[in-house]
């Protein structure tokens, strides 16, 4: 999985606005969701790989992070901010 070409991000105080060229929509993200996209920008991968990377930034382990991120991961897919890497 990866962040698609053309995704635009802008910081809005505590939140971030993210435009997806795949859906033509803008969504609001919190810092944790943007961190997921930042990891994917550097290295495409699945949720487990992303959480392993994020675990190095936080006090949580990768398993717990996966539980916390699973729902948002699907939302990021649905909103076109994450796509299959081969797409």
Partner 1 sequence: MDNQTPTPDDKFSARRRLLRGSFSVPAVLTLASGSALAAKSATCLAKATNQSSTEELTTSPTADTFMRVQLMARLPSNPGGNLRYLVTRASFGLIPVSTSFWPTGTVWWRFNINTNKLIDPNGQRTTPVPVDAQLVNYWVALRFNSAGEIIGVGKSGAGSVVGQSCWNSINLSP
Does position 75 interact with partner 1 (CB under 8 A)? The reply is: yes
From 13, 11, 15, select the one nearest 32 (Cα to Cα).
15
Size of the site for partner 1 (CB under 8 A): 42
Characterize the bridge pairing of strands 15-20 and 8-12.
Answer: antiparallel
Counting contacts by CB under 8 A, is residue 57 touching partner 1?
Answer: yes
Residue 43 and residue 39: Cα distance in Å, rounded?
Answer: 6
| Residues forming the site for partner 1 (CB under 8 A) | 3, 5-9, 11, 15-16, 18, 24-39, 41, 54, 57-60, 65, 68-69, 71-73, 75-76, 79, 81
């Amino acid at each position: 999985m990866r962040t698609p070409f053309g995704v635009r991000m802008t910081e809005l105080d505590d939140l971030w606005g993210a435009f997806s060229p795949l859906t033509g929509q803008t969504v609001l993200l919190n810092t944790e969701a943007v961190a997921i996209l930042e990891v994917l920008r550097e290295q495409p991968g699945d949720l487990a790989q992303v959480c392993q990377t994020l675990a190095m930034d936080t006090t949580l382990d990768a398993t717990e992070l996966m539980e916390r991120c699973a729902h948002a991961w699907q939302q990021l897919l649905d909103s076109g901010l994450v796509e299959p890497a081969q797409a």
